[in-house]
Chains A and B, each alone.
Chain A
Amino acid sequence: MNIQQVIRTINQMHADGIIESYAIGGAVGATFHLEPVSTLDVDIFVSFRPEPGSLLISPQPIYNYLTARGCATDGEYIIIAGWPVQFLPPTGALVEEALTKAVVYDVAGVPARVFTAEYLAAIALETGRAKDKARLLQFIESGILDASTFKDILTRHALTGQWAQFERQFLSDNL
């Protein structure tokens, strides 16, 4: 079980032209900015290439590529270096923008493309489940968010209402 090997594999997929760009999200992405956030899987957001002769995007080349290299599948997961990995298309404008603004970290000489803290926090707010709100609180309490950048993202993606509600629910007593 080695998450660094997962990152090396994703980079190789990019170098081999299987994916256009990628960014690590979810708990693993958050771990680049916060304390380690326990998780059972890895979320990789990717821009898919259209299939030749088709305008439709498909994850099939990813699965073909990885299974040809010995990776097993398990439902919607593909197992890389012992980690269940999910490849996710951008599900909206926020995630699409987050993909373009992702930053590269050096992991012992291996580049890893990761969503910025501000985009991870905004995505957590947009997704809105209990554990997403908990993660958003972690980002806020860590003090690492650039307030101006974060508010700008919220404004441009129509998330100010959700933010106001979040503030009322979780931050009103703490500020």
Chain B
Amino acid sequence: MTTDLQTILESKRRYRQRLAARPIVEKLRMLDALRERALLLRPAPSSVVREESTSNHADKIRP
């Protein structure tokens, strides 16, 4: 344990790098798990929480 902010930030950076370097199959499984957890934590009437959409573009298409 340390309380030195620079050490903490560097540790976080290294952890993110290790995660980024994981095989893509493993990272996609993590996305599945992260979404399931997010839905559990923030139940909504629909499975889709539009205001939390992470899409880059606002002009979504509709059929």
Assembled-state Cα–Cα distance A84/B52 (Å)? 12
**With contacts A41-B53, A75-B48, A91-B59 known, is A107 near B24, CB below 8 A?**
yes
Find out whether the CB atom of B50 lies under 8 angstroms from the CB atom of A75: yes
**With contacts A60-B63, A127-B56, A142-B20 known, is A31 near B32, CB below 8 A?**
no
Contact with B along A117-142 (1 / 0, CB 8 A): 00000011001000110000000011
Find out whether the CB atom of A41 lies under 8 angstroms from the CB atom of B31: no
Find out whether the CB atom of B49 lies under 8 angstroms from the CB atom of A31: no
Count of residues in A whose CB is under 8 Å from the partner chain? 52
Contact with B along A42-72 (1 / 0, CB 8 A): 0100000000000000111011000000000
Cβ of A63: which chain B residues have Cβ within 8 Å of it?
A: 63
Q: Smallest Cβ distance from B57 to chain A, in angstroms? A: 5
Give the secondary structure class of A's interface: mixed
Q: Which of A10-18, A20-28, A145-153, A156-164 contacts B (4 or more CB under 8 A)?
A: A20-28
With beta carbons under 8 angstroms apart, the residue of B13, B36, B50, B56 that contacts A123 is B56
Give the secondary structure class of B's interface: helix
Find out whether the CB atom of A108 lies under 8 angstroms from the CB atom of B53: no
Q: Quick one: closest B residue to A142, CB to CB? A: B20
With beta carbons under 8 angstroms apart, the residue of B17, B28, B39, B56 that contacts A3 is B28
Assembled-state Cα–Cα distance A79/B19 (Å)? 28
Which of chain B's residues 2-49 have a Cβ closer than 8 Å to chain A? 13, 16-17, 19-20, 24-25, 27-28, 30-32, 34-36, 38-39, 46-49
Assembled-state Cα–Cα distance A25/B16 (Å)? 20
Q: Can you add 7 more A-B contacts, CB < 8 Å, to A1-B32, A75-B50?
A: A1-B36, A3-B31, A25-B56, A40-B35, A40-B49, A43-B57, A107-B25
